[in-house]
Amino acid sequence: MRAYFYFYLVNMYGDVPLVLTTDYRVSEKLGREKSETVYNQVVEDLKAAKQLLGDNYPNGNRVRPNKAVASAMLASVSLPSRMGTG
């Protein structure tokens, strides 16, 4: 979910604070990170999700991500137009 949210945040706003902790004392002092750094974190999160998520939806309802969703999102993040080369 973090990858999903940051993907859209960075596409809308460019450089954004990258919060990787739940400690509010740390996150309240964060500045904006370069878009490239945020995209790298998105890719890492999606690679981890592909390893951790199952192939099927847990209860048949399509309300939670699965491995296919993480793969599709990773493909979308990797598109050349996202990198400004297409």
pLDDT score for 83: 52
Interacting residues of 6 by C-beta distance below 8 A, sequence separation 6+: 16, 18, 38, 41, 42, 45
pLDDT score for 80: 67
pLDDT score for 85: 45
pLDDT score for 79: 79
pLDDT per residue, tens digit, the chain (86 aa), is: 999 999 999 999 999 999 999 999 999 999 999 999 999 999 999 999 999 888 877 677 777 788 888 999 999 888 765 555 44
